[in-house]
């Protein structure tokens, strides 16, 4: 009878998609968790595991949907190389205060200086904090929006972009210097990255 109850409990957890809780429960049955836990402590442990599981799953989902170019993290940035990076400035950006304020962050520089890497690192940080994030090469994205405009789908594409909290649009340094692209870039920033520019 106890085995049937345990199997029934695990089955219910699976049906209710309480995967983190089910994993912790299996560990308790295997003797991995302390047997001396009180009922309330055991329940708290199960709930905490479920919370952690969902949080990690959400981060993984946001990261996957962001389609980052690099698997980059702020903790891995090398400040020793001569790229003009300041640790204090990056730590301020890591708070994502500019996202909360709806401001735009421009990362500029010559080819090969790590602009895309920095954008991906900040994007990963945004995913960890629960922001919907999207990485795209600016010329390719604007090209796709132009195609959508021709096909009459621009409003739908813009609406999809506008739900993103943090957009990492790279390869600005040369692209924005081309006069014919200024109106498109300006409209894109107003649509998908609402707020004030931040240098």
3-state secondary structure 127-169: HHCCCCEEEEEHHHHHHHHHHHHHCCCHHHHHHHHHCCCEEEE
Is residue 61 domain-shared with residue 87, that is, in the same domain?
A: no
Six-digit token pair at 28?
């308790």
How many structural domains does the chain have?
Answer: 2
Is it the case that residue 133 has pLDDT exceeding 80?
yes
pLDDT of res. 194: 46
Is residue 121 domain-shared with residue 168, that is, in the same domain?
A: yes
Torsion of CA 66, 70, 73, 76, to 10 degrees: 180
* Distance separating alpha carbons of residues 129 and 95, to the nearest angstrom: 10
Is residue 98 domain-shared with residue 15, that is, in the same domain?
A: no
**Any idea what the CATH number is for the domain that residue 88 is in?**
3.40.50.300
Is residue 148 domain-shared with residue 91, that is, in the same domain?
A: yes
Range of the domain at 114: 74-198
Is residue 10 domain-shared with residue 26, that is, in the same domain?
A: yes
Is residue 48 domain-shared with residue 96, that is, in the same domain?
A: no
Structure confidence at residue 161 as a pLDDT band (50, 70, 90): low
154 and 148 Cβ atoms separated by less than 8 Å: yes
Domain boundary among 18, 42, 66: 66
Is residue 80 domain-shared with residue 149, that is, in the same domain?
A: yes
Is residue 52 domain-shared with residue 110, that is, in the same domain?
A: no
Structure confidence at residue 156 as a pLDDT band (50, 70, 90): low
- The mean per-residue pLDDT over the stretch 81-104 comes to 83
133 and 168 Cβ atoms separated by less than 8 Å: yes
Domain boundary among 10, 38, 66: 66
- 137 has which bridge partners? 170
- The mean per-residue pLDDT over the stretch 21-48 comes to 86
Is it the case that residue 167 has pLDDT exceeding 80?
no
Six-digit token pair at 32?
């991995």
């Amino acid at each position: 009878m106890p085995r049937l109850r345990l199997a029934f409990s695990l089955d219910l957890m699976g049906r209710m998609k309480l995967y983190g809780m089910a994993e912790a429960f299996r560990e308790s049955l295997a003797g991995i968790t302390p047997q001396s836990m009180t009922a309330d402590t055991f329940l708290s442990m199960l709930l905490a595991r479920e919370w952690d599981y969902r949080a990690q799953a959400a981060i993984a989902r946001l990261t996957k949907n962001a389609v980052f170019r690099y698997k980059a993290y702020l903790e891995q940035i090398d400040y020793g190389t001569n790229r003009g990076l300041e640790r204090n400035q990056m730590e301020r950006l890591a708070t994502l205060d500019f996202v909360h304020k709806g401001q735009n962050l421009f990362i500029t520089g010559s080819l090969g200086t790590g602009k895309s890497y920095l954008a991906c690192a900040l994007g990963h940080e945004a995913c960890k904090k629960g922001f919907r994030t999207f990485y795209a090469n600016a010329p390719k994205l604007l090209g796709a929006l132009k195609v959508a405009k021709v096909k009459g789908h621009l409003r739908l594409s813009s609406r999809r972009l506008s739900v993103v909290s943090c957009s990492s649009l790279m390869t600005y340094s040369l692209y924005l210097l081309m006069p014919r692209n200024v109106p498109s870039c300006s409209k894109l920033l107003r649509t998908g990255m609402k707020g004030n520019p931040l240098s």
